[in-house]
Amino acid sequence: MQTLWDHRFAQRTQKMQSSAIRELLKFAEKPDVISFAGGMPAPDVFPIEEFKNACIKVLEQNGPACLQYGSTDGYVPLREMIARHTARYGINVTIDNILPTSGSQQALDLIGKIFINRGDRIIVESPTYVGAIQAWNAYGAEFIPVPFDENGMVTNELEARLRAGPKFIYVLPNFQNPTGATLSYERRLQLIELADRYGVPIVEDDPYGQLRYEGENLPAIEVLDSQTRSQTDCYLGNVIYLSTFSKILAPGIRLAWVIAPPEIINKLILVKQGADLHTSTFNQIVAFEVAKRGFLNEHVKIIRKVYKERRDIMLDTLTEHMPEGVNWTRPQGGLFLWVTLPECLNSEDLFDEALQEKVAFVPGSSFFAEGGGNNTMRLNFSNARPEKINDGIARLSKVIKKHLARKGMQISK
């Protein structure tokens, strides 16, 4: 329906839609719904006591500075801590390589603001993180999807797409949102080599890298990229790396960081001034207080234990309940797994009935920049309590079986 305001909104808003996930979360929030929908960390692992103590301490010791405006560059001790943390993974960075942002979501938006002209092409995995599509649609980006399998982006398919002159490549290397897949070591190397050869930067979005429950850690793309260059004290390579405190501390503090060459950080600072002046001073100081002296390392161990248990329960109950023809990924970490239904089913058609059964998921089509994935769905395993997971998967499989029966498919199990 046309409204009085339609012709007044900027053209960039025309392609904007509220993300399906945000809309679905409204239903999923109802207390009687078992939600495998949002990407929520488990509230039971939030370090509430530590935050409470840190708030009191920093207000008593440093009250005026906590509550004052800060610099756009961010709180220096926090940036130093991130630099030390990064150095442990074998990459030399200085605080000039680091910018705290109001969540990685803001970093994605600022990256769009400094790089994307209307019609610019961005290479994305297919499927990819819906929040990036949303952020970059606003700048008129065109997306070039690259096929994706259980080892991440199919880098053998990349070269033809690089010839189209993309602005950058967006990649989620670890326990990808939405599929849970991890980019293999060989593909990381191939990606770096190709990106370098074609002079195309890589945006590496890594909110889940620390949440590995089994298998060997793989080096970040930025680390591998830095190894191909002559060593300097400051990172000057081809990768813009994003990570966040959302999944290892708490998303409510909206605190994340970018690691990139200083030239890019300076440009991001410039546009961040126009966006929000700076990331919350109070949140940066409190998060630093909570995270310092090794707390984060210990806390992440607890999170891994809790989420691994939930992942295992979800995998077991999927095996127990799902009919033949339904397949799913077995992520080694992160928050999500990805279900593929028989081709004849559309997960969006299942959604309402699933809600009537009081279970929620995210239809997979939301994660495809250029359409597709109708028979897929994303399930989050971090947020539902173990005893609910079995129940929720049983309800979901009931809905799937009903839809298969309607299509005249034989159901075994």
Report the interface residues with ligand PLP, using CB under 6 A. Answer: 39, 103-105, 129, 131, 172, 177, 205, 207, 244, 246, 251, 256
How many helices (H) and strands (E) in the chain? 13, 15
Residue nearest to ligand PLP (CB): 103
Give CA 233 to chain center in angstroms.
29
Question: 259 vs 400, which CB is nearer to ligand PLP?
Answer: 259
- What is the Cα–Cα distance from 320 to 378, expressed in whole angstroms? 18
Choice between 303 and 399, CB closer to ligand PLP: 303
For residue 130, the minimal CB distance to ligand PLP (Å) is 9
Residues near 225 by beta carbon (within 8 Å), at least 6 away in sequence? 192, 196, 202, 237, 238, 239
Minimum distance of ligand PLP from residue 345's CB (angstroms): 26
Compute how many other C-beta atoms are within 10 angstroms of the C-beta atom of residue 134: 21
Instruction: Give the contacts of 232 (CB within 8 A, at least 6 positions apart).
Output: 92
Instruction: For residues 125 and 338, give the distance between their C-alpha atoms in angstroms, rounded to a whole number.
Output: 14
By C-beta, is 172 or 355 nearer to ligand PLP?
A: 172
Whole-Å CA distances, 368 to 107, 113, 116 = 21, 22, 20
Q: For 383, phi and psi rounded to 5 degrees? A: -95, -20
d(CA 121, CA 143): 6
Tell me the closest approach of the beta carbon of residue 205 to ligand PLP, in angstroms: 5
Report the residue number, 207 or 331, with the smaller CB distance to ligand PLP: 207
Q: 359-360 and 34-35 as β-strands: parallel, antiparallel, unpaired?
A: parallel
Nearest residue (CB) to ligand PLP, 74 versus 251: 251
Nearer to ligand PLP, 83 or 203 (CB): 203
Nearer to ligand PLP, 201 or 334 (CB): 334
Provide the residue type at 322 as one letter: M
Residue pair 175/206 in contact by the 8 Å Cβ criterion: no
CB of 133 to ligand PLP, least distance (A): 11
Q: What's the min distance (Å) between Cβ of 38 and ligand PLP?
A: 9
Locus of tokens 């999807």: 145
Q: How far is the CB of 380 from ligand PLP (least distance, A)?
A: 10
Q: Residue 139 and residue 137: Cα distance in Å, rounded?
A: 5
C-beta closer to ligand PLP: residue 74 or 325: 74
Between 103 and 219, CB nearer to ligand PLP = 103
Minimum distance, C-beta of residue 403 to ligand PLP, in the bound complex (Å): 28
Q: Which residues contact 342 (CB under 8 A, 6 or more apart)?
A: 325, 326, 375, 404, 409
| Residue 89 structure tokens | 């993974």
- In whole angstroms, the minimum distance from the beta carbon of 235 to ligand PLP comes to 20
Which residues pair with residue 258 across a beta bridge? 99, 242
User: Closest distance between ligand PLP and the C-beta of residue 166, in Å?
Assistant: 19
Assigned token pair, 334: 């992160």
Instruction: Please classify residue 409 by burial: count the beta carbons closer than 10 Å to its beta carbon, then call 0-12 exposed, 13-18 middle and 19+ buried.
Output: middle
Residue 111 vs 192, nearer CB to ligand PLP? 111
Q: What is the largest CA-CA distance in the chain?
A: 69
Tokens at residue 273, please? 């001034």
Q: Nearest distance from residue 349's CB to ligand PLP, in Å? A: 26
